[in-house]
Structure 1
Amino acid sequence: MANFGIENKILQYLIIILNLKYLSATHDSNGNSSCVLYEQKFQLKNCVLINHSHLECNGNYNFCNDNKSEFFMLNTILIPYDSILKLSISDSSKLIVDPRNIIKTFPNLRVLTILRGKLIKIITSFPAEAKISEIRIDRTKLDTLPDDVFKYLSLPHAIDLRNNALAKINPESFNITSLTSLYLAGNPWKCNYNMSWILKINNNSLAMKIKDTEKLHCTSPYEGRPLFAVVEIIETLRNECKQTVCDCELIHVVGPRNSHQQINNKRQLMAFVAVNCSYRGLEEMPDFIPTNTTRLYLTGNKIFDLTKIVTNPVYREVRDLYLDDNLIESITILDGSYWLEHFRVFSLRGNKLADLPTYALENVLVQGENAVSIYLGNNPWTCDCLFTPGFQDLLLQYTNIIKDIHDIKCNLLINNGENSGKLIKDLTRTEICVMPNEFFLHPIDILNIILATTILLIIGKFIYDYWLFKRTGILPWIVTKIP
């Protein structure tokens, strides 16, 4: 019996030695691991068996079970691989996971938890034979998931992906009948139309399975805004934009950031939309533009009439309007309009403007605080004594707002070439008001000369009369006639 006990112990030690050999990842001639999840091997000394089925590991691991062994050793105790139902990994400094190897190592695994640390990649999908019912990956550096990472699982009822670096997910990967709970908060979600699946709320949709929708927030450019509400705005904009020939973009959203108040409705946010209808061959301004349009580009069309800015309410919230390179000859229709009093940017470069209501524009600039930029260059401006002096004064007074003053020039085809092409800001009044072959002196100047000459004559006559009286005692003729 004693010999049998010794032989039994020797057999156990042989099994332990064999299992330790198989546990270490093998290497090829180049020194690369044959089962690469991380550069280091599976360090059993960092693992603790919480109970008979829960293995908790801390550090960096390489799970490589080659099926040559059914046991692994932990603290001199042989543990069957298939007895582990729950595996927890935490605080890895750099972890790349291959779910196939985890399931191959622990075939009966039910719960997988990866906490903290720098999980940076999951390189394959979970295999169909996996029996996992719960997956939790929390507070790691994971930023992408394979498109089919969970697609082949049939048993999971809860997946927790909170507090990672995920910007997007493929909803098809979560098309699992058994899934009842999905947690996604704490990730920097990229809010765009690719997230529109979250709006499809019905009994079988993935959106209904998300338990923390109100805690999902966008990353830049809508930093901290509630994901659901922003995506709702984007989807509405996408549908409205289809009614136009334009390109549309949500450029900014104003509202609470990371507020504890639940905000799931787009009406609780203020959106700013840019619509680009440039070079579309438009002969008039569109009858419809998407809601919340604040910036509108209509450059390079054939628009000549601005009446719709005044009469159509869709333009009421447009603050930046770009109408460069059109056929606009007048903006008089905008005089006194709500839009002219509230615009921020107004660009009319390259049109057919010869003049404009200077007084109306000046009133807006004096009284309003909204105007930031006006562009008027490359128009055939009239340079005459009636319009140009006031226009020039406006340009010089508001150079901080009229941004292209160096492109505002006299029409090349007028003034017999005298002022054509000259910068209006640099013209003198003589250049503006005196035409070629015209008498050099202005009528007012002639009147001033006559008055000055008359005054000199009167003074001269007074001096002569005084001298004559002193010499001869004869009073001036006009004095003798005074009664």
Structure 2
Amino acid sequence: MISLKSLGLVVIFLVAGCNCNSTSSDNNELDVCEIDTELTCKNLTRGTNCGCVSKGTKAKCCHFKLNLVADYLYNNCGFNELTALYFFNCSSLSQPSISQLDLSPILKKYPNLQTLAFTNSDYNMIKVDPKVGNISNVRCLNVSYNSLDNSTDVANVINSIPSLQLIDVSNNNLSHAPNISGRSDFSLHIANNEFLNCDGIKEQMLENIKFVHPDQTLCRKFVTITQWSKEDTVSLNLSSIASTIMIHKQCPPKCSCSESRIVTEKGENNQNQVSNIAVAVNCSYRHLTKMPESLPTYTTTLDVSHNNITSLNLNGLKPDSNYDKLNYINANYNEIKTLQTLEGSEFLKAFEYLSLKGNQISKIPHFLEKAVTGTPSGKGQILLSDNKFECNCDTALHMKPMLVALEKHIVDFENIYCNNMEIKIIDLVNEKVCTINEINYIYYIIVAEVLLLLLLVGKVSYDYWVFKHVGYLPWPASKMPRLPCDCVLEN
């Protein structure tokens, strides 16, 4: 009987064909890889009579043991000119400990086959006679959901069938991707091989091998995770590996780009760990006058030191400039005069390092304090020494307390000197810097206002005394025109 698990897999297959047509239309989809959805498995167990059904030149066989399967089908089931043949939940009659799938008899007996599939079985070895493979027309081979563990066997099969354009080896036990050479625009589906190693995959991509569903295909890589400072094995999806191939194409003019580290972060809904290969861009000593317009995908580190950049305007960049993952900027020794252009930028929301030594900055804006302490990690670091800070009373009253408050974040706060005097900003003394001319003018205004108020009160009091005792108003009041309310007051 068919188990529930097997039945579920059958349903999956019937919906998706043999998975050989799983490449996108952009990759020249192999529409010949579909198995007719009306071909359903008979309710038979392995080893019974012919468990095959057919429709036209397509056939599907389920749940029996195979030996010389080509002769079995040809003699007992009456199939002749097949173009698509699918085996589901079948096994070999070879040695009990070795389940080997030999495709040669099938290819020899049915040379017109374009789609061939052996899925949900127990094969751990696969082979084909190169002489037979040369006469084959098979374009799609699906051997998913088996126990294949030797990538060399798979590579030999691929290289022995010149007509082959796509192979599905997903859901097996492969530890390495098969080494495919000299096959331009070949497609490989290798998802869900639990112990698949990342080594060699990038080289395969450079050979124009297309990996089906790269976002869903994970491989294992042994690395040192920068955030945790320890060695570990991380899972990378093939899209992140593919993106590193585009580094040299996306690298800004005059700059150099390279892989820098593995970044591990939370996936969707904060459930799964997702690892990506971060990119470092070096644009130092390139005579740049502005920030690069765009960066390679997943750039986290940017060095633009020793240039002639006048502004860190990260708000005016295009949406596809790839600055969204940037968390490290070295802009030392440029001509940057203000930090106001950084206000509200995405960089300040999650940055880890910002070095601005040797520029022409004269003030530290207040928004920087909130940005530094408000990053998710709370570990943002800034370097500001060797700038053009003009020290005065305002510097002592406002900038000095800010530097002290951000001592853990401004790495070189003890080396930030005044440009107009030989003293560190943190050593400024209010009483010495804030002279009378600078801070006491407000007191003069206050004293003057108080004196005017006292004079006004005194004058009103004097006029009232004169009116009560002498009976006439003072000269200024007597010269004022009569108002409508005066008659009411007189009555």
- What TM-score, normalized by structure 1, do the two folds share? 0.46
- What TM-score, normalized by structure 2, do the two folds share? 0.46
